[in-house]
């Protein structure tokens, strides 16, 4: 009965950011979800929703506490303090709907023990991660990264990072395998080692992002929204609604109807944006990821009793191809009842027995009260959507942050509108209020 | 003392929530309004007793139309106005669901106020007595308003503000607690 420019299916973060951005630009957006809650795969669930998803029919134990105290993330991701998502949040002023807290520490598993990723120069000096001479070599390497300017050959020491592979740079500085693991996996956050043979620029950018994020607030490079990651899609959904977007939850749409290869409407929209689960025949699987959501009674051992952390087990340490990640948050982030902690152990699946693959991670957690495991397909669209006007987002991948999500948002935006995404600064809440008062 | 109180408005679509808000903030009726677009919140400073109170009232942004209000909308609200249309019985029946949502999502301490809007209309379907009893049973204050003429609007917001200040004075609500909406 109403005409829309864009129909969006699934209220995951990627879809909600796009709805918000397109609504601001004056597009009429209809946004639906099959669930009666926001967020899709990037939702945070209360106990009832969590049990319904993983163990339908079973009731949560009374000892777990109140339903409403829980906001359990399905995907283990944090926001890089200096990353793209923070930029989008501040430009759209969606920050007005949210409160953030820092993740207290970043850790890395090395030779059977857990070590803190140094957050300050002091911590770096004291860190057991490298010997004294290795620290000097590493210092030279980091200075090189920091001072490298593309347009100033004097800073290049004869290497062009656009073509020199990362392995050559490590060799040049004489870094030990353990240090290379640390830099590539704990700082550049590569999930596996294929980066070594690629030009160094990519890794330089990642190290710079990590360092600048760390420098912003100290402690760790990560921020986290109170009440869980599910607050992020909800914030962008409200932004879209403020600019006229129409929202329908609990709306089952069976299939997208195509006519002569073009979409003819879930209702009557010119364009459809959806997540991979809404168009299974138009995506292909790139990976499988296992995620074990663990409910704990205390902080995990050997992490200074922090209320939140990231712990990386680099693949070499446990003879794998892909790193194992552990993301931990707790009651101080309003995601579970007092005295409880949540940790998600995850990795890219390499064998027929993924449960076995995450054992090294689970073993570091201490006693586990309960565990919810899912193995999910990571999918991406086969086509760019231009011919059928169905624009499909990618699944949330195994990386520990939202940088690839933002890349996907930008890529979809360009495919849909034909233009590059240029973020405009929206008025802040204070400015809006002042303007209202002046009228 | 100066206070900033966060309020929200819920209730079925078409009950005149945005118009109430507009009337309170601007002292005039909003013409030609259909569904809500572009209203985040309205705010006004009022004097309650010896206190200067800034009431910041958040609108649903139209997400109530298909019962798709975000959970985060409710966070940190000190009070909520639950609005129905006195000429539309269904909108009154829905109030029970809106109460449950507010208590569950905003917190048990939230000050709730039942508002019967469109007092200017002739074809009343919900009597004052019935709504007043319902409000009493559910521990809410109750008022009827007309966003068109402005009748009862000022009083509604002042009453809700007063109820919250009383809760603070009697120690029922701690303004220092994060998420208390104060």
- For residue B103, pLDDT over 70 is answered with yes
Distance CA B65, CA B8 (A): 16
- CB contact under 8 Å between A241 and B42, yes or no, is no
How much is the pLDDT for A335?
A: 96
Q: At B7, phi and psi to the nearest 5? A: -115, 160
- Enumerate residues 49 to 108 of chain A having a beta carbon within 8 A of any beta carbon in chain B: 68, 97-98
- DSSP strand pairing (A44-45 vs A309-313): unpaired
Question: Which chain A residues have a beta carbon less than 8 Å from that of B37?
Answer: 242-244
* Nearest chain A Cα distance for residue B17, angstroms: 15
A-chain CB neighbours of B63 within 8 Å are: 237-238, 241, 247
Nearest to A388 by CA among A280, A277, A276, A265: A265
Question: Pick from A38, A235, A242: which is nearest to B38 by CB?
Answer: A242
- Cα distance between residue A219 and residue A228, in whole Å: 20
Chain B CB within 8 Å of residue A37 CB: yes
At A262 the pLDDT is 64
CB contact under 8 A, A244 and B104: no
Closest partner residue to A247 among B43, B63, B104, by Cβ?
B63
Amino acid A46: pLDDT: 94
Reduced to 3 states (helix: H, G, I; strand: E, B; else coil), residue A268 is coil
A39 in contact with B at a CB cutoff of 8 Å?
A: no
DSSP 8-class letter at A78: B
Q: Using CB atoms, pick whichever of B61, B67, B72 lies closest to residue A242.
A: B61
Is A417's Cβ below 8 Å from some Cβ in B?
Answer: no
Q: Which among B37, B66, B70 has the least Cβ separation from residue A248?
A: B66
Q: Say if CB B61 and CB A238 are below 8 A apart.
A: yes
Q: What is the dihedral of CA A431, A435, B2, B8, to 10 degrees?
A: -90
Give the whole-angstrom CA distance, residue A211 versus residue A329.
Answer: 22
Residues 6+ apart with CB under 8 A from A373: A290, A291, A292, A293, A355
What percent of chain A is predicted at pLDDT more than 90? 84
- Band the pLDDT of B171: cuts 50, 70, 90: confident
Q: Is B71–A237 a contact, with Cβ atoms under 8 angstroms apart?
A: no
- Contact flag A242-B42 (C-beta cutoff 8 Å): no
For the CA atoms of A359, A360, A361, A365, the dihedral, rounded to the nearest 10 degrees, stands at 90
Lowest model confidence (mean pLDDT) among A9-13, A371-375, B13-17, B47-51: B47-51
Exposure of B180 by Cβ count < 10 A (0-12 exposed, 13-18 middle, 19+ buried)?
buried
Closest CA to A256 of A8, A35, A39: A8
pLDDT tens digits for range A12-32:
999 999 999 999 999 999 999
Closest CA to A108 of A128, A82, A79: A128
Q: Are A277 and A73 in contact (CB under 8 A)?
A: no
Contact call for B61 and A241, based on CB within 8 A: yes
Chain pair A-B, CB pairs under 8 angstroms: 59
Would an 8 Å CB–CB cutoff place A436 in contact with chain B?
yes
Beta carbons of B61 and A234 less than 8 Å apart: no
pLDDT for res A268: 47
**Pairing outcome for strands A79-80 and A222-225:** antiparallel
pLDDT the model gives residue A259:
67
- Kindly report the pTM of this predicted structure: 0.93
Select from A25, A22, A37, A435 the least CA-distant residue to B41. A435
Q: B153-169 and B17-26 are packed helices; what angle lies between their axes, rounded to 10 degrees?
A: 90
pLDDT at B81 over 50: yes
Facing B70 at nearest CB: one of A238, A246, A432: A238
Residue B142 predicted with pLDDT over 70: yes
What mean pLDDT comes out for the span B99-105? 92
d(CA A29, CA A32): 10
CA-to-CA separations, B180 to A176, A177, A187, in angstroms, rounded: 53, 52, 39
Average pLDDT over residues B85-104: 95
Check B43 against A68: CB less than 8 A apart. Answer: no
Alpha-carbon span B117 to B24, nearest angstrom: 13
Helix, strand, coil percentages for chain A (3-state, nearest 5):
35, 25, 40
Q: CA-CA distance, A34 to B97, in Å (whole number)?
A: 21
Whole-number Å distance between alpha carbons of B64 and B97: 12
| Chain B touched by A332 (CB under 8 Å) | no
Q: What is the dihedral of CA B71, B76, B79, B82, to 10 degrees?
A: -10
Q: Please give the pLDDT value at position B35.
A: 57
**Partner-chain residue, chosen from A234, A432, A436, that has the shortest CB–CB distance to B72:** A234
3 state SS of A312? strand
The chain A residue lying nearest B56, using CA atoms, is A433
Helix (H, G, I), strand (E, B) or coil at A266: coil
pLDDT at site B38 = 63
Q: Which of A49, A227, A247, A439 to mutate to test the interface with B (most CBs of B within 10 A)?
A: A247
Max alpha carbon distance in chain A (Å)? 72
Instruction: Kindly determine whether residue A246 and residue B65, on different chains, have CB atoms separated by under 8 Å.
Output: yes
Beta strand B2-10 pairing with B79-85: parallel
DSSP one-letter string for B122-169 = S---S-HHHHHHHHHHTT-EEEE--TTT-TTHHHHHHHHHHHHHHHHH
Return d(Cα A170, Cα A160) in angstroms, integer. 14
Cα A406 to its chain centre, rounded Å, is 9
Closest approach of chain A CAs to the CA of B122, in angstroms?
A: 30
Q: What is the secondary structure of A202-247 as a DSSP string?
A: HHHHHHHHHHHHHHHHSS-SEEEETT-TTHHHHHHHHHHHHTT-EE
Burial class (CB in 10 A: 0-12, 13-18, 19+), A418: exposed
* Residues 183 through 202 of chain A touching chain B, CB cutoff 8 Å: none
Yes or no, beta carbons of A433 and B43 under 8 Å apart: yes
A433: number of Cβ within 10 Å: 17
Q: Check CB contact of A236 with chain B, cutoff 8 Å.
A: no
Please provide residue A337's backbone torsions phi and psi, each rounded to the nearest 5 degrees. Answer: -70, 155
Identity of the residue in B25, B39, B104 whose CB atom sits nearest the CB atom of A68:
B104
Using a CB–CB cut-off of 8 Å, the residues of B that contact A are: 25, 37-40, 42-43, 61-63, 65-68, 70-73, 75, 104-105
- Across the interface, whether the CB atoms of B40 and A247 are under 8 A apart is answered no
Mutation pick from B72, B74, B179 vs chain A, by most beta carbons of A within 10 Å, is B72
**Residue ranges in chain A modelled with pLDDT below 50:** 268
| CB-based contact B94:B14 (threshold 8 Å) | no
pLDDT at A439: 57
Q: Distances in Å between the alpha carbon of B92 and those of A134, A162, A410, B131, B160?
A: 73, 66, 44, 8, 20
ipTM of the complex: 0.90
Residue A385: CB partners within 8 Å, gap ≥ 6? A391, A392, A415, A416
Q: How far is CA A246 from CA A6, A31, A195, B61, in A?
A: 11, 6, 43, 9
């Amino acid at each position: 009965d109403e005409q829309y420019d864009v129909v969006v299916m699934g209220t995951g973060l990627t879809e909600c950011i796009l709805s918000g951005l397109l609504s601001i630009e004056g597009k009429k957006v209809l946004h639906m979800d099959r669930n009666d809650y926001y967020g899709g795969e990037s939702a945070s669930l209360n106990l009832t929703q969590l049990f319904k998803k993983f163990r339908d029919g079973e009731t949560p134990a009374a000892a777990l506490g109140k339903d409403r105290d829980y906001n359990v993330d399905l995907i283990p991701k944090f926001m890089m303090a200096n990353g793209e998502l923070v930029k989008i949040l501040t430009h759209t002023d969606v920050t007005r709907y949210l409160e953030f807290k820092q993740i207290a520490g970043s850790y890395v598993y090395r030779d059977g023990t857990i070590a803190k990723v140094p957050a300050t120069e002091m911590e770096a000096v004291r860190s057991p991660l490298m010997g004294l001479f290795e620290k000097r070599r590493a210092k030279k390497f980091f200075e090189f990264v920091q001072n490298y300017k593309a347009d100033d050959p004097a800073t290049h020491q004869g290497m062009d990072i656009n073509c020199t592979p990362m392995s050559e740079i490590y060799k040049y500085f004489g870094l030990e395998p353990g240090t290379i693991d640390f830099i590539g996996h704990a700082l550049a956050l590569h999930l596996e080692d294929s980066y070594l043979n690629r030009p160094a620029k990519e890794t330089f950018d990642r190290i710079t992002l990590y360092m600048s994020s760390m420098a912003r607030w100290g402690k760790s490079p990560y921020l986290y929204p109170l009440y869980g990651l599910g607050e992020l899609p909800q914030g962008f959904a409200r932004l879209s609604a403020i600019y006229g977007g129409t929202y329908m939850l609990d709306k089952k749409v069976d299939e997208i109807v195509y006519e002569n290869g073009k979409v003819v409407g879930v209702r009557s929209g010119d364009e459809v944006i959806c997540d991979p689960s809404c168009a299974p025949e138009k995506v292909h699987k790139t990976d499988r990821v296992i995620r074990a959501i663990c409910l704990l009674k205390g902080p995990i051992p050997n992490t200074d009793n922090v209320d939140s952390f990231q712990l990386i087990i680099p693949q070499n340490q446990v003879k794998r191809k892909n790193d194992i990640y552990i993301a931990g948050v707790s009651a101080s982030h309003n995601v579970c009842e007092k005295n409880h902690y949540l940790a998600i152990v995850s990795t890219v699946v390499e064998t027929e027995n993924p449960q076995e693959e995450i054992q090294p991670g689970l073993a570091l957690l201490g006693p586990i009260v309960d565990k919810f495991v899912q193995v999910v397909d990571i999918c991406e669209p086969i086509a760019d959507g231009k011919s059928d006007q169905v624009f499909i987002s990618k699944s949330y991948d195994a990386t520990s942050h939202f940088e690839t999500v933002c890349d996907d948002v930008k890529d979809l935006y360009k495919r849909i509108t034909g233009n590059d995404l240029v973020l405009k600064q929206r008025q802040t809440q204070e400015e809006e209020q002042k303007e209202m008062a002046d009228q | 003392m100066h206070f900033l109180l966060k309020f929200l408005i819920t209730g079925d679509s078409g009950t005149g929530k945005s118009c109430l808000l507009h009337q309170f903030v601007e002292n005039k009726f909003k013409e030609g309004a259909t569904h809500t677009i572009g209203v985040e919140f309205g705010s006004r400073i009022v004097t309650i007793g010896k206190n200067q109170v800034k009431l910041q009232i958040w609108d649903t942004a139209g997400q109530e139309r298909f019962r798709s209000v975000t959970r985060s909308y409710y966070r940190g609200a000190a009070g909520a106005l639950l609005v129905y249309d006195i000429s539309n019985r269904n909108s009154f029946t829905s109030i029970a669901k809106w109460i449950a949502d507010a208590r569950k999502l905003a917190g048990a301490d939230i000050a709730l106020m039942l508002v019967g809007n469109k007092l200017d209309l002739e074809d009343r379907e919900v009597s004052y007595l019935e709504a007043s009893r319902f409000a009493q049973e559910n521990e809410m204050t109750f008022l009827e308003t007309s966003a068109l003429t402005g009748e009862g609007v000022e009083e509604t917001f002042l009453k809700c503000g007063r109820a919250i200040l009383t809760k603070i004075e009697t120690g029922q609500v701690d303004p220092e607690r994060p998420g208390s909406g104060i």
